[in-house]
Structure 1
Amino acid sequence: MFGGGNMQGMLKKVQKMQKDMEKAQEEIKNTVVEASIGGGAVSVTMNGEQEVLSIKIAPAAVDPEDVEALEDLILAAVNEANRKAKEVAEKKLGAVTGNLKLPGMPGMF
């Protein structure tokens, strides 16, 4: 009466997409990205959920007379790692959604 066969096929596609989305989100969670700034002076490691896992600072980058430069390096490294993590999330989720911009989907900005 309402195209039940077509609706059933559509439901299967939605269920597959949901499973694929869950798999992609797990892959994103387990992805680790690293950004190194200032010739290795500061390195930041972040997971795909944009949580900072570690920050490494080379001893040579620590100058008590120029703390602001070190702060800038840390900020730049965190922002670069964040950009990389977002890029990974967008690629993995985009493969599932066909690059649709779905509201409320992490990494789909």
Structure 2
Amino acid sequence: MAGVGKLIKQAQKMQTQIAQAQAALGAQKIDVSAGGGAVKLTVNGAGEFLSLSLDTEFLREDASLVAETILGAVRDGAAKAKEANEAVMRKATQGFSMPGLM
């Protein structure tokens, strides 16, 4: 049963690393722009959208163009946040293996 104790300690260490990684992701800011800077947004590494700004001149464009550009910025921000999250979590869980599960 000595292996169980080691496994529990390893799981506790990983849990601590994940909590630290989540805190770091929450503090990480990712800036995204689209439409030549007409749409700017900030998202954190946890995928939470923090801010959105739109150029007032850009808002005079066709509504479908504005919507498409905003949607593109949101998709880009979400993808970058996901990449950041996966990279940090991969690092936090690196070296953890549970016999029989992996």
Class of the TM-score when normalised by the shorter of the 2 chains: 0.7 to 0.9
Q: Could you tell me which of 73, 77, 84 is aligned with 1:88? A: 84
Please tell me whether the aligned partners of residues 93 and 99 of structure 1 are also in contact (alpha carbons under 8 angstroms): no
The corresponding residue for 1:77 is 73
CA distance in 2, matches of 1:46, 1:99: 29
Please tell me whether the aligned partners of residues 32 and 76 of structure 2 are also in contact (alpha carbons under 8 angstroms): yes
Deviations 1:56-84 (A, max 9, x none): 112231225x1111111111111111111
Identical-residue share of aligned pairs (%): 31
Q: Which consecutive aligned stretches of 4+ in structure 1 deviate over 6 angstroms post-superposition?
A: none
The corresponding residue for 2:57 is 60
Task: Say which structure, 1 or 2, has more relative contact order (CA 8 Å, 6+ apart).
Answer: 2
TM-score normalised by L of structure 1: 0.78
CA distance in 2, matches of 1:6, 1:14: 12
Which blocks of at least 5 consecutive residues in structure 2 are unaligned? 97-102
* Aligned pairs (5 A) from 1:7-22: 7-22=4-19
TM-score normalised by L of structure 2: 0.83
Residue 99 of structure 1 deviates from its aligned partner by 9.2
CA distance in 2, matches of 1:97, 1:8: 18
Residue 31 of structure 1 deviates from its aligned partner by 1.4
Q: Count residues in correspondence.
A: 96
